[in-house]
Amino acid sequence: MTEQGLDVTWSGRHAIVTMPAEIDLINAGSLGDQLSAVVSESPDAVTVDMTATTFCDSAGIRALVRAHEQAAGSGAELRLAVGDSPVRRIIQLTGLDQILPIYHDVRQSLTTPRARPASNQESSM
Amino acid sequence: MRLLPEDDRRSGRAVGSPTLAPHLELDGVSFAGSSLLSGPLPDGAERLRDLQSVTDAALSHLDPQALLDALVDRVKDALEADTAAVLLLDREHGQLVATAANGLEEEVRQGVRIPLGRGFAGRVAAERRPVIIDQVDHTNVLNPILLAKGVRSLIGAPLLADGEVIGVLHVGTLSPRRFTSQDADLLQLAADRAALAVQSLTSQLDRASAAALQRSLVPSALPPVNGLQMAARYVPGSGSIGGDWYDVFTLPSGELCAVIGDVAGSGLKAAVIMGRLRSALRAYALETTDPADVLDRLDIKIRHFEPDAMATVLYAVFDHSLDQVRISSAGHLPPIIARQGQPAVVAEVANDILLGVAALKPRQVTTLSFPPGALLCLYTDGLVESRNRPIDDGIARLCAAITAGEPDVACASVMGAMAEDALPADDIALLMLRRQPAGLAEAGRLPDRAGEL
């Protein structure tokens, strides 16, 4: 099992997590755990930087969705920065862009304030 | 409770190292020269050979229970102890489940379950190294059977596979005994053999069960429908069976329904969830003819009963005349449609969020015209996804490979063009439905009145 440590940087209470080039069944579990750990640190927002990610299979999509649900439950917002990565299309095809704010790059995400206040983050279950 | 002292621990580790154990030469000569097992156990080599023969024999018979039963017998004898037991980890519940025992048969019969991190076995699993208890009492042992039996001293070792704990092997005595580091080495070696065997067997069984389940659920023969020809392919991935499926069935009203779906993940678990979704979708299809409504119900079912699961599903309902098909897609790849005399194109179908995720907006239905001679192609990502190029390229190649002709020919042509480039680890499901060309339509069918899309 490969153990990839994700690069995490903070800008105030905004965490930026940089994803590897490929996300698949092999590393999705570990990446999901690491995302979960970041979300546990009570950020206001987490931007998942996938601009350098070229491949993301359904296990990766699942990890993103679970991180989003965890974030929403604790009042944080999970965002994706996808640039022109092929992942953008996967995000659209799976409908993930309907629940996650998508940005072109990390800078755009960092400079965009949250649309909704933290107290209003319950997803409509 | 005592953990082995640092030095002993290290030697226990060395013997117990998963990379070392499988390659250890267990013949008498190399053992006589081994510093780990020379000394206090004069016939240690013989005992180990015994253990090894057990695990090797059981491996060839593909029966984990027989392996573990034989193993606890031999380990108990090898350590001249009174009890021996193997508990395997039930990962889903975080518990160790008594699976084989000698001298403690009640453990297995009563289905003893020890939470990870608690009790003696739970402690061994948490420590991931041999643990010894010289003096058993209720503070260090959770299992009432061990206490009732009068077990006085215990030694346990973890079953490790790929660095993960998959179970615990422990041995006990009814009279007080100070287990030594040599005992720990021997036990860890036995535990390593057991771990390798258990892991290999369970993954083989897992694959075989998933394959059998997959075969039983993917329809071998598609239902005959007047005016419609169908063909399908299912190819399992090389790594393991996945959660792809397709289904075709008719409703009491006579309407024809087609489904293609992909449960995230792989192996037996994904295949089992796939089976449940397939059945549930059929049941919901009987309750409502609105495809979006069916997927909504399926989504509620998944989120309630399979909260870890996620799936993409595309559900299509053909009307009686076959002129139109209503499609709802939960994050699934878009269908390809080839109308007679025209190139195959990606059908413009509204796409909603995949199943298993709280949707923020209502699911949509797209109605496509389906004139005589038209061919609808449904598929899973294994067919078009590649690490080397964007998925749209794969979809474009799929379009190029489809011709509006016999579905079986179209399937063969697509598999020929695509399969070689597809991810070998991912499974592929492909379903083609073609409406008979106008000239061949049977009497009584309405003339083509398909509107513009």
Residues 192-231 of B with CB under 8 A from A: none
**Assigned domain for A92 exists:** yes
Strand, helix or coil for residue B33: coil
Residue B286 lies in a domain: yes
Q: What is the pLDDT of residue B239?
A: 56
State which of B164, B187, B208 marks the end of a domain.
B208
Is B171 in contact with B84 (CB distance < 8 Å)? yes
pLDDT tens column, B201-257:
777 767 777 677 767 766 667 777 889 999 988 887 765 667 889 999 999 988 999
Please tell me which of the candidates A58, A65, A89 has its beta carbon nearest to residue B390: A89
Of the partner residues B266, B333, B356, the one whose CB lies closest to the CB of residue A93: B333
On the question of pLDDT at B183 being above 70, the answer is yes
Same domain, B56 and B85: yes
Q: Work out how many CB contacts closer than 8 A connect A with B.
A: 77
**Residue B448 in domain:** no
Most confidently predicted of A105-114, B27-36, B138-147, B418-427: A105-114
- Shared domain check, B225 and B183: no
* Banded pLDDT at B440 (limits 50, 70, 90): low
Residues B98 and B226 in one domain: no
B106 and B40, same domain (yes or no): yes
B84-93, B103-112, B233-242, B332-341: range with highest mean pLDDT: B332-341
Q: Does B310 touch chain A (CB under 8 A)?
A: yes
B433 is in which domain, residue-wise?
A: 219-440
Residue of A nearest to B266 (CA): A25
Find the CATH number of the domain harbouring B177.
Answer: 3.30.450.40
Which residue of A33, A94, A116 is the best one to mutate when testing the B interface, meaning the one whose CB has the most B CBs within 10 A?
A94
Cβ contacts of B385 within 8 Å, gap of 6 or more: A57, B391, B394, B422, B423, B426
Among B163, B264, B391, whose Cβ lies nearest the Cβ of A61?
B264
Average of pLDDT values for B78-94? 85
Per-residue pLDDT tens over the stretch B370-414: 999 999 999 999 899 888 888 999 999 999 999 878 898 899 889
Query: Measured between CA atoms, how close is B352 to chain A, in angstroms?
Result: 5
Q: Cβ of A95 and B264 within 8 Å?
A: no
DSSP state letter for B343: -
- Regarding whether B433 and B346 lie in a shared domain, the answer is yes
- Does residue B142 surpass a pLDDT of 70? yes
Beta bridge partners of B345: B337
Residues B404 and B332 in one domain: yes
Indicate the range of B161-165, B294-298, B300-304, B323-327 predicted with least confidence: B161-165
Q: Are B214 and B236 within 8 A, CB to CB?
A: yes
Q: How far apart are the first and last CA of chain A?
A: 35
Tell me the pLDDT band of A121, cut-offs 50, 70 and 90: very low
CA dihedral A36, A40, A42, A45 (to 10 degrees): 0
Domain boundary pick from B208, B240, B266? B208
For residue B282, pLDDT over 80 is answered with: yes
Q: A52 in a domain, yes or no?
A: yes
Binding-face residues of B in 338-357 toward A, CB within 8 A: 351-354, 356-357
Grouping H, G, I as helix, E, B as strand and the rest as coil, residue B29 is helix
The CATH code of the domain that includes B301 is 3.60.40.10
Residue A119: pLDDT over 70:
no
Tell me how close the Cα of B278 comes to any Cα of chain A, in angstroms.
Answer: 19
pLDDT of A17 reads 97
Q: What is the total count of domains within chain B?
A: 2
CATH of the domain at A65: 3.30.750.24
Tokens representing A10 are 């903070």
Domain end residue (candidates: B208, B240, B259): B208
Is B213 within a domain? no
Put simply, the answer to whether A92 touches B351 (Cβ < 8 Å) is: yes
Closest residue, chain A, to B267 (C-alpha): A25
Q: Mark yes or no for CB contact B385/A57 under 8 Å.
A: yes
Which of A54, A86, A93 is facing B331, going by the closest CB pair?
Answer: A93
User: Within this chain, do residues B183 and B250 fall inside the same structural domain, yes or no?
Assistant: no
ipTM of the complex: 0.81
CA atoms of A49 and A104, how far apart (whole Å): 10
Q: Are residues B173 and B312 in the same domain?
A: no
Tell me, yes or no, whether B149 and B226 share the same domain: no
**What pLDDT, on a 0 to 100 scale, did the predictor assign at position B222?**
75
For all residues of chain B together, what is the average pLDDT?
A: 80
Query: What's the number of domains chain A is made of?
Result: 1
